[in-house]
Structure 1
Amino acid sequence: MNKHALGIDIGGTQVKMGIVDARGQLLGRIEHPTPQKEGAEAALLEIASVAKQLATEANIPWKDIAGVGVGLPGFLDIPQGHIVQLPNLSWNDVPIRKILEKALALPVTIDNDANVAALGEAWSGAGVGVKDLICITLGTGVGGGIIANGGLVHGSTGMAGEIGHIPVKQDGALCGCGRHGCLETIASATGVMRLMQEAIARGEQTILHHDESDPLTTEKIFSAAKDKDPVAQEVVQQAVDALAYVMSILSLTFNPALFVIGGGVSKAGSTLFEPLEAAYHRRTLSYVAKGVLIRPALLGNDAGLIGAAGLTAKGEILR
C-alpha cells in the first residue's frame, strides 16, 4: 500500500477502528459502542462518522487513506460486499460495501472477523515473515483463519476456517450451531468452563467451586491446573487433546509452518502451550509436524482492525 488504510472491526458490543500504515503499524485507533439503531444502514452511517472523527483526531488527511477494510462476525457474501446475516446484531441482507463506499467515498472490502485477525497477525504480529500459517482464536467460541502462500483461504462459499465446528467427539455436548461434539464445545472458554462445572457437579475432588458469589472462570481453572489440581489438569488436557487433534488434521491438509493461538484462553500461557505442543507432536506425523511452530498471538484486540486494514491491499501485503 502506498497510502494509509482504515480498518474497522465490528463486534457485537464494540466497534474498533484504526488507521494503519504500509508496514501494518497503527497510526491511530478508536473504540465506539456498536450502534444499536433501528436498521443496519443507520448504524453503519454512525460508524462512518466515527471513522472520519478518527482521521481528524489522528491528524491524517482523508485523501491519504487508500481504502477501508471491514471485519464482521457472521455470514457474508465477500465478493459482493454483502452481509447475509450477523446473528449477534440482527443484521440481515445488508449491502454494507455499497453503504460505506457512499458514506466514506473510498473503496471498501469486507471479510470474516477470524480471517482478518489471521491477516493482522501475519502482517505485523506473531506471523511476520510466514506465508503459510493458521490462526486459531480460543474465546467464547473457536475461530480460525487460514493463510496459504500469503493469501487468505476462503473456499468456494467463504466458509473456510470454521474450525470450531469440526466434530471431535461423537454424541458430545450440544454446540450453538445445532450439532453435537464440535471443537468449540471442548476447547473454547465456554467449553472448558462446562467441563469443569460438570466435574464439580459429579462431586470430583477439586479446589475449585462454582457459585454466584464466586463464579468459576477459565483463569481459575488454568491456575488450578498449574497448581496440580488433578481435576483441573484433566479438564485442560481434554481441551488440549481436542485442539491438538484438529491441528493435526489441519497440518495434514494445509501444511502450515506456524499456528498462532489467540483469544482469552491463550492467556493461560505455558499451562496451555506446553501440553498443547506435546499433544500436537504426539498426534501428528513426525515429518509433517517437524519444524512447525505454535506461538501465542501478539496483537490482542488490535489484530482484527489491523488485518481489516490489510484487506485494502487485496491480500498482496504478504506475497
Structure 2
Amino acid sequence: MSGKVYVGVDLGGTSIKVGLCDENGKLLQTYEGPTGAEFGPDEVLDRIANYVRLLVDQSESGWDDVAGIGAGLAGFLDIPEGIVRFSPNLKWHDVPVKATLEKKLGKPVAIDNDANVAALGEAWSGAGAGIANCVCYTLGTGVGGGIIIGGKIYQGSAGMAGELGHMAVVPDLEAIQCGCGQMGCLETVSSATGIIRMAKDAVQRGDKTSLAMIQNITAKDVFDAAKAGDEAALRIVNRAAFYLGKSMAALAVVLNPQRFIIGGGVSKAGEILFQPIREIFKKYTPAQVQENVDIVPATLGNDAGVVGAAGLNLR
C-alpha cells in the first residue's frame, strides 16, 4: 500500500487500542492489548511500542509509510513537551511519553487529552467531517469535551480548554459537589453517574417509578423507563437534557460553532435525549447565533479516540 499513514493510540486503564489511518481519516486497521498499568509506565510504554509495530506489520503498509504517531491520554498533560504530569487512573507522575516513544519507534509522536482526540476524530472523519468549527461532548461516566476551531483542537493557555463537564450550570440551591471539588458542574447531572444518582434519589424519596424495581440502576435503565412513559425517569432525562442544552447555548454565543456533536454511552439514548436538548438550546440562544447550528450524535463510537490520535500529526 502506498501513501502516508498515521497511527493513533488510545491508552486506557485496562486496554490499549491502536489504529492505523490514511490521510483522510479512514481507519484501516486496529489492534488491542492489555495495558499492564500495574507494572508501571516503562512497561506500558514498551507495550504501546510493541502494539504499534504489530499493527503496522499486520497491515498492508510498511514502516516507512508511517508519518507520525499520536496518543490520547487521560490526566493532566504538558502537551507541547509530551509529558503526562499526573494521571490518576494510571498513577503516573511526570512520564515523558513523547520522548520515550520517539526513541523506541523512531517516529514523531504527539499527545493530547483523550476527550480532545475523540473530538478531533469526529471532526476529521466522523460527524464533523467537513465542519471547520464544532464542539464535541462525550457523555459517559463523566462529561468530557473537545473544541475544534479551524479544524484544529483548541487547547487554551494551559491545555484545559474543553472541560465541558465542569461548567457550573446548576443553580446553587440545587447544586451538589462535583468530583472536581466545585459545585453544580454539568457532570453532576448529565453524565451516566449523575443520571444514576438522580434515579436513586427518586427511589429513596418514594417517587412512583418502575426504577424502584431495579437493584442496580444504570443510565440505560433510566432512558428505557422514560421511553416507556415513567414520569420520574422522564423528569431525570429532561433535567440532564436541560443543562446540556443550556451549556451549549452559553458556548454558542462565545464560539458560534457550526455543530455540536454528542458521543459516549449516554448519547445512545437517541431522540428522547436529543429532542429536549435541541429545544432548550433554541430557547436560550439568540436567533442569529443558533442559525445553521445543528446538534447531532457522534458516528465513530469507540474508534473516535484512535482516529483522532492518529490525526494529531496531520492537523
TM-score (norm 2): 0.96
Matches within 5 A, 1:295-306: 295-306=296-307
Are 2:191 and 1:206 aligned?
Answer: no
Deviation at 1:51, TM superposition (A): 1.1
Structure 2 partner of 1:197: 200
Confirm or deny: 8 A CA contact 1:3 1:21 kept in the other structure.
yes
Structure 1 partner of 2:135: 134
Deviation at 1:57, TM superposition (A): 1.5
Give unmatched runs, 5+ long, in structure 2.
none
CA distance in 2, matches of 1:35, 1:198: 37
CA distance in 1, matches of 2:142, 2:39: 27
CA distance in 2, matches of 1:291, 1:63: 43
- Identify the range of structure 1 (276-285 vs 34-43) with the bigger mean alpha-carbon deviation: 34-43
Counterpart residue type for residue 63 of structure 2:
W
CA distance in 1, matches of 2:12, 2:282: 35
Secondary structure at 1:16's aligned position in 2? Answer: strand
Confirm or deny: 8 A CA contact 1:114 1:143 kept in the other structure.
yes
Structure 1 partner of 2:313: 312
CA distance in 1, matches of 2:258, 2:212: 40
CA distance in 1, matches of 2:28, 2:229: 44
CA distance in 2, matches of 1:265, 1:54: 30
CA distance in 2, matches of 1:289, 1:40: 45
Structure 2 partner of 1:62: 63
Structure 2 partner of 1:245: 246
Structure 2 partner of 1:265: 266
Structure 2 partner of 1:222: 223
CA distance in 2, matches of 1:104, 1:195: 47
CA distance in 1, matches of 2:19, 2:7: 6
Render the CA deviation track for 1:209-255: whole Å, top value 9, x for unaligned. 265xx421111111111122110111011101111111111101100
Structure 2 partner of 1:75: 76
Structure 1 partner of 2:286: 285
- Identify the range of structure 1 (202-211 vs 252-261) with the bigger mean alpha-carbon deviation: 202-211
Are 2:49 and 1:9 aligned?
Answer: no
Matches within 5 A, 1:86-105: 86-105=87-106
Are 2:185 and 1:182 aligned?
Answer: yes
Structure 2 partner of 1:167: 168
Render the CA deviation track for 1:131-155: whole Å, top value 9, x for unaligned. 0100000000001100112221111
Deviation at 1:38, TM superposition (A): 3.1
- 4+ residue runs over 4 A deviation: none
Secondary structure at 1:9's aligned position in 2? Answer: strand
Render the CA deviation track for 1:42-90: whole Å, top value 9, x for unaligned. 2111111111111112242111101100000111000111111111010
CA distance in 2, matches of 1:64, 1:121: 24
Confirm or deny: 8 A CA contact 2:69 2:109 kept in the other structure.
yes
RMSD between superposed Cα atoms in Å:
1.3
Counterpart residue type for residue 186 of structure 1:
V
Q: What percentage of residue pairs aligned between the two structures are identical? A: 49
Render the CA deviation track for 1:89-127: whole Å, top value 9, x for unaligned. 101101110110011110000001111111100111001
Deviation at 1:201, TM superposition (A): 0.3
- The count of aligned residue pairs is 312
Counterpart residue type for residue 208 of structure 2:
Q
CA distance in 2, matches of 1:301, 1:187: 20
Confirm or deny: 8 A CA contact 2:219 2:266 kept in the other structure.
yes
Secondary structure at 2:84's aligned position in 1? Answer: strand
Are 2:54 and 1:53 aligned?
Answer: yes
TM-score (norm 1): 0.95
CA distance in 2, matches of 1:123, 1:179: 33
Confirm or deny: 8 A CA contact 1:197 1:210 kept in the other structure.
no
